[in-house]
């Protein structure tokens, strides 16, 4: 029972500290700055979602539109929630870098520019995240192949 009580008591700190650490690592490997406005907020209405810890110590990342959940990650493993948050952030930064690439304007499918960067940065944060990102890219390409 001590594990449950400890997890419930320390879970919010673990989530916040872990997110801060992984954001700093991303900034170091990418050379890009993550603005506070890109991070999940504290209310359900925040456009970048919000983080919470249920009374039982379960971690949650939820994004809502007009009060309705559109994306949700719920896990007892903080890594799953961190992955969901960082996936959104890293994907956006990879897309932003692609926009500044001189080849962007002439490319038919700009995902060729940002998918590799998204996968690389996620992989530099975690080898497990590289695998998960590659699987997500494969799912996207199965539904919407490169042009």
User: Mean pLDDT across the stretch 66-81?
Assistant: 90
Residue 64: band (very low, low, confident or very high) from pLDDT cuts 50, 70, 90: confident
d(CA 124, CA 121): 5
The phi, psi pair for 133, rounded to 5°, reads: -65, -40
Predicted TM-score (pTM) of the model is 0.86
d(CA 44, CA 111): 31
Token output for 3: 């594990």
Question: Does the pLDDT at position 10 exceed 60?
Answer: no
Element (H, E) at 59: strand 59-65
User: Mean pLDDT across the stretch 7-14?
Assistant: 57
% of the chain exceeding 90 in pLDDT:
61
Residue 38 has a CB neighbour count (10 Å cut-off) of 15
Is residue 56 within 8 A of residue 1, CB to CB? The reply is no
Helices (H), 47-126: 78-99, 111-125
Task: Choose the weakest-confidence range: 8-17, 34-43, 82-91.
Answer: 8-17
Edge to edge, what strands does the sheet with 59-65 contain?
A: 50-53, 59-65, 68-75
pLDDT tens-digit readout, 90-141: 999 999 999 888 888 888 899 999 999 999 999 999 999 999 999 999 999 9
Residue 11: band (very low, low, confident or very high) from pLDDT cuts 50, 70, 90: low
Domain range list for the chain: 2-143
Residues contacting 77, CB < 8 A, separation 6+: 59
Bridge partners for 72 per DSSP: 62
Question: Does the pLDDT at position 4 exceed 60?
Answer: no
């Amino acid at each position: 029972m001590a594990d449950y009580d400890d997890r419930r008591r320390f879970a919010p700190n673990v989530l916040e500290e872990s997110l801060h650490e992984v954001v700093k690592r991303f900034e170091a490997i990418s050379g890009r700055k993550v603005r506070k406005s890109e991070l999940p907020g504290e209310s359900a209405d925040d456009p970048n979602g919000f983080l919470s810890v249920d009374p039982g110590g379960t971690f949650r990342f939820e994004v809502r539109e007009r009060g309705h959940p559109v994306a949700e990650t719920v896990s007892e493993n903080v890594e799953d929630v961190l992955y969901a948050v960082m996936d959104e952030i890293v994907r956006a930064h990879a897309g932003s870098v692609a926009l500044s690439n001189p080849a962007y304007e002439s490319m038919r499918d700009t995902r060729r520019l940002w998918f590799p960067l998204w996968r690389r940065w996620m992989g530099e944060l975690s080898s497990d995240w590289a695998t998960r990102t590659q699987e997500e890219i494969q799912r996207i390409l199965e539904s919407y192949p490169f042009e």
